[in-house]
Structure 1
Amino acid sequence: MSFSQLLRWQWEGYPRYHRSRFNLLLHIFVVPLFLAGNVALVAGLFLAAWPSVAAGALAMGASVALQGRGHRQERMPSEPFTSPLNAVGRIFVEQWVNFPRFVLSGGWLQAWREAGAA
């Protein structure tokens, strides 16, 4: 699957897999944790700041683990990863593109309101 296909595929299904208030609330806090961790890891690599690399990797790992827990609360389970490369691609696309897009487009707030009405 190309990057553009992955982006489109993930975005089209995004609202289906993000409906539980627990998962939505978790994502609003832990996606920024992943992003900060990713920046710290990359900056740490460039600066040879190994504590930053370690802290960044830890933040990213914790964020992914917590999001996995949130997704287990959903009525519609996420599609399973098909390979390690598929997992990495989907995780990075969700964190850097589709979740911010979901928030900025109003999708997160709409899902939050619909979850409260259910």
Structure 2
Amino acid sequence: MKVKALLAWQWQGCETFHQSTTNLWLHIVAVPLFILGFALCFAALFFLNITLFGSATLLMVGSLIAQGIGHKEEALPPAPFTGALNAVLRIILEQVYTFPKFVLTGGWYAALKGK
């Protein structure tokens, strides 16, 4: 699936897979932590800092674990990954684009209020 199609697919299902109050609260905290870790990974590579790289990686992994716990609270689980590239693309795109868009367009708040 091409990136544009993947983004459209993620956006179409974003509200469906983010309805549980627990999941919504975990995501609103965990996604910014993932984004921070993602940015710090690039900084670590730029400065050749292995300690920062390890810390940033742990931050991203912890964020994904928290989100995985949240998704277990959902009535509908996320669609399974179709391969390694699909997993990497879906994870990164959801973290840095789709979920922030969901928040900024009011979808997160509407889902929290049950609308």
Give the TM-score band, short-chain normalised. Answer: over 0.9
SS in 2 for 1:17: coil
Superposition TM-score, scaled by structure 2 size: 0.98
Shift of 1:99: 0.6
Shift of 1:64: 0.8
Looking at structure 2, the residues matched to 41 and 56 of structure 1 have their Cα atoms a distance apart, in angstroms, of 6
**1:53 maps to amino acid:** F
Residue-pair matches, total: 115
Superposition TM-score, scaled by structure 1 size: 0.95
Runs of 4+ deviating beyond 3 Å: none
Over aligned residue pairs, what C-alpha RMSD do you find?
Answer: 0.9
Q: Which deviations, in whole Å up to 9, do the C-alpha atoms of 1:35-84 show, x marking residues without a partner? A: 01011111001101111100100001111111111101100111011111
Q: In structure 2, what is the equivalent of residue 96 of structure 1?
A: 96
Matches of residues 39-58 of structure 1 in structure 2 within 5 Å? 39-58=39-58
Which residues of structure 1 form unaligned runs of 5+? none
Looking at structure 2, the residues matched to 35 and 60 of structure 1 have their Cα atoms a distance apart, in angstroms, of 8
Q: In structure 1, what is the equivalent of residue 80 of structure 2?
A: 80
1:13 paired to 2:13 = yes
1:29 paired to 2:29 = yes
Looking at structure 1, the residues matched to 49 and 85 of structure 2 have their Cα atoms a distance apart, in angstroms, of 27
Looking at structure 2, the residues matched to 53 and 113 of structure 1 have their Cα atoms a distance apart, in angstroms, of 38
Identity of aligned residues (%): 44
Q: Where is the helix percentage greater, Structure 1 or Structure 2?
A: 1
SS in 1 for 2:26: helix
